[in-house]
Amino acid sequence: MAIKKITLTFAALSYLISKYMYLDAEKKKEIFAQYGKSNTDTGSPEAQIALFSYRIAHLTEHLKSNKKDYNTERALKILVGKRRRLLDYLIETDIERYRAIIKELGIRK
């Protein structure tokens, strides 16, 4: 039995990697540009909440088909807690920004 050697170009390899990566640098910049002050604004609570919401949605979809993936379930709970703490911070500092972000992202209180 002969073993075939597969060679991939860098472009083909990066395409395959990006196909299976749900969150790449371009998607992050897009999220930060939409919800932050600019596409390099990675520290504002709104940008962080939006990024966490995107990751939470992805992990939720993963758990629908992989019900016994307890490591992902734990990671999801940690992310939900981080997002909740950021939302609590926004409530304390600026209630209008809080109302705007939960309305925009469709997060229920």
- For 17-49, the three-class secondary structure string (H helix, E strand, C coil) is HHHHCCCCHHHHHHHHHHHCCCCCCCCCHHHHH
In the chain, where the domains are located? 10-105
pLDDT of residue 14: 61
Q: Does domain 10-105 have CATH number 3.40.50.12280?
A: no
Cβ 51 vs Cβ 31: under 8 Å: yes
Contact between 45 and 89 under an 8 Å Cβ cutoff? The reply is yes
- Residue 18's pLDDT is 55
Inform me whether the pLDDT recorded for 1 exceeds 70: no
Phi, psi dihedrals of residue 40, rounded to the nearest 5°: -105, 5
pTM for the structure as a whole? 0.79
pLDDT digits (tens, 9 = 90+) for 28-74: 899 999 998 888 888 999 999 999 999 999 999 999 999 999 999 99
